[in-house]
Chain A
Amino acid sequence: MSDRLFISDADLHGLAGDLIGAGTEVVAPVATDICQSPSAIAATACTLDGSKVDIDYRALASADEMDLSRGLPQLSLKGYFLPEHEALCRWKQRGITVEVEDVPTEFAPRVVLAAKPCDSAALAVVDQVMNWDYEDELWNGRREATTIVNLTCPMIDDSCFCTAVATGPDDVKGADGLLTPVDGGYVFEPATDKGRALAEAHKARFSSHVEADTLGRQADDERAAARSRVAANLEIDAASVRAWIDTHFEDPLLSQLAIRCNGCGACASVCPTCHCFDIVDEEEGVGRGTRRRCWDTCQAPTFTLHASGHNPRDDQHVRYRQRINHKFAIYPLKFGEVLCTGCGRCTRVCHAGQDLIEILQAIDIAARRPGDATAEPEEAAS
């Protein structure tokens, strides 16, 4: 592939430095030892051996902060496109007159380096609902202003399952290019015009095209190895899982699978595809304030509570069923793809031990069970 370029580790840091120097916000994984944090809350999370490293996507103050050797950041990239809370409009009231002020829908350019492929893929998935008839300019504005460069995952753990949900640890879905670690640096493969423009604007940082030589082969091997490492974690038949969920709304299996869930909603916060939100007014003194949208979760009992007191999802297993349904049946029905990119954060963060890999395996097994209406035909014996 003649489109492939090589960039040394020093030049990648140099590229980040150039961008920061030019005033562009650069977001990348940053590792912090929270035991060094002055925050009392952080200190409580510090383990007895005196070291606990948090990885986060952060806007870099300097290129040295970027850490490309680690696993998944705690939170996905979602917050850079759908902030935890953001202004939708501002109002000022004087007597009976109200003035509503727009919020900007154009954003300064931003570059994300070393994004996890599951995080960029999630943005492409959520693009669909954000443009379902009505275009969400706030989401789209940030998407357009951002160039995302993925990094083939250097670390894959037991909770990763991206390859089971139609993406992968070396995918460029939702991103503008891909870096794959090779000896001395990275092979860069641009995937969009934005990605090509980034390389073009910083030509000096990239060396000549990588042909199918040692480095090219090394990148291919690295990508294939990452894919097979994830694939070993989970293999499901997505179509039959979806068909089973579609046709088994009241199946007791779904309530059994929800049994450990106590509805804290942490899974939705860390999920790169969960995009449900609340809209609230925040008064900022007399006669003025901001209407905001805030992350919300379908796991909260108040999420669907009617003013009358009636609640269509009045029990936790019903709310968990909604989570599974929305991700693996409803979203695919509306938009043709699952609302999950297999990052596994929900499993890692769950204090009750809900494991999405286990849950999908259980549904996959149920879907293949003989006698089940939606089961796959038995494999031919001969």
Chain B
Amino acid sequence: MNIYQPLLTTVTEMVDETVDTRTLRLEFQDEAVRSGFDFKAGQFGEYSVFGAGESTFCIASPPTRDGYIECSFKSVGKVTIALREVNKGDTVGFRGPYGNWFPVDDWKGKDVVFVAGGIGLAPVRCVIWNVLDRRDEFGDVTIVYGARSVDDLVYKRELEDWGARSDVKMVTTVDPGGQTEDWAGEVGYVTPVVEKTAPKADNAVAVLCGPPIVVKLTLPVLGQLGFADDAIFTTLENRMKCGLGKCGRCNIGPVYVCKDGPVFTAAQMKELPPEF
């Protein structure tokens, strides 16, 4: 079995997050793989529909849940449209886990602030559950999540679960105009909502992921709140094919997103050449 050969998984659950975003739960078909598979929060994989090809997404479920992995994707290209056509019981290929991870173990005893926009919640969700599954190891947990509209919020059931927990400060927001009549959350872009929520930066780390504009505007706000550049973590994405550092397309200057990333600190991002 060469390094490009996928493992086989079976689709066991499907959830439509939004009109175009779906989450699949995948179980490895091989018993030995199923029990031996291990990964860390933030790593990614190459998911494939045989005949359509491979596509790169983070593993959206936490490593603390054994026996399955989940991915969330928006149907925009050949593979993601084909992935949307699979049903429960169908076979999906998977290669991984690849890349580095969020250093969750180093955050023990610290407050953790999560900031996500749109589908950017997928990689953050993995870390959120990883932290919540080990809740007593961490300090305060704050989640600020925003989407364009109420319909565009992903993981709606989990947003409610997190909001209902007394040990999580959950702030959900939608862009102005995206609210419904019975919307009880915030109305406004993610960045000003983070500013208003003002999580304390003392002994804290921040995890930030979202569309480039959200990341770009929120970084200075976290800085003003007192978060040091090496206490802000994000995950980058670039087009990939191999995920193994060979196919040559995900690099930003000398940094290969597939092997040096996808998780970077704000300090590392500032060192990157302007090409992402």
Which A residues are closer than 8 A to B by beta carbons?
88-89, 91, 93, 96-98, 100, 102-103, 105, 129-130, 132-138, 249-250, 275-281, 283, 289, 291, 293, 296, 298, 303-308, 310, 312-313, 318, 322, 325-326, 329-330, 333-334
Interface pair B241/A132, CB less than 8 Å apart: no
| A129, B5: Cβ atoms closer than 8 Å | no
State whether B253 touches A298 (Cβ < 8 A): no
A279 & B8 in contact (Cβ 8 Å cutoff): no
Q: With A100-B93, A281-B48 in contact, do A312 and B252 touch (Cβ < 8 Å)?
A: yes
Interface hits, B221-276 → A, CB 8 Å = 237-239, 241-242, 244-249, 251-254, 259, 273-276
A278–B247 CB distance below 8 A? yes
CA distance A48 to B273 in the complex (A): 50
**Could you say which interface size class chain B belongs to?**
35 or more
7 A-B pairs within 8 Å (CB atoms) are namely A88-B4, A93-B51, A100-B5, A134-B246, A136-B3, A136-B246, A281-B53
Q: Do B51 and A134 have beta carbons less than 8 Å apart?
A: no
A279 touches B54 (CB 8 A): yes
Set of chain B residues within 8 Å of A291, measured between Cβ atoms: 4, 48, 50, 53-54
Query: Which residue of chain B has the shortest Cβ distance to A283 in the bound complex?
Result: B51
7 smallest CB-CB distances across A and B, nearest first, come from A276-B248, A98-B91, A88-B4, A249-B273, A307-B76, A134-B244, A307-B77
Query: Which residues from chain B contact A303 at a C-beta distance below 8 Å?
Result: 239, 249
Query: Known interface pairs A249-B274, A318-B275. Does A325 touch B247 (Cβ–Cβ under 8 Å)?
Result: no
- How distant is B53 from chain A, measured CB to nearest CB, in Å? 5
B90 part of interface (Cβ distance < 8 Å): yes
Name B's A-contacting residues (CB within 8 A): 1-6, 8, 10, 48, 50-54, 74, 76-77, 80, 89-91, 93, 212, 237-239, 241-242, 244-249, 251-254, 259, 273-276
On whether the beta carbons of A278 and B252 are closer than 8 Å, the reply is: no
Task: Return A155 CB to nearest CB of chain B, in Å.
Answer: 31
Query: In the bound complex, do residue B2 and residue A275 qualify as a contact, i.e. CB atoms below 8 Å apart?
Result: no
B246 near A281: Cβ-Cβ < 8 Å? no
Contacts of A326 in B (CB 8 A): 248, 251
Tell whether, in the assembled complex, residue A88 and residue B91 are in contact, meaning their CB atoms are under 8 Å apart: no
CA distance A97 to B92 in the complex (A): 10
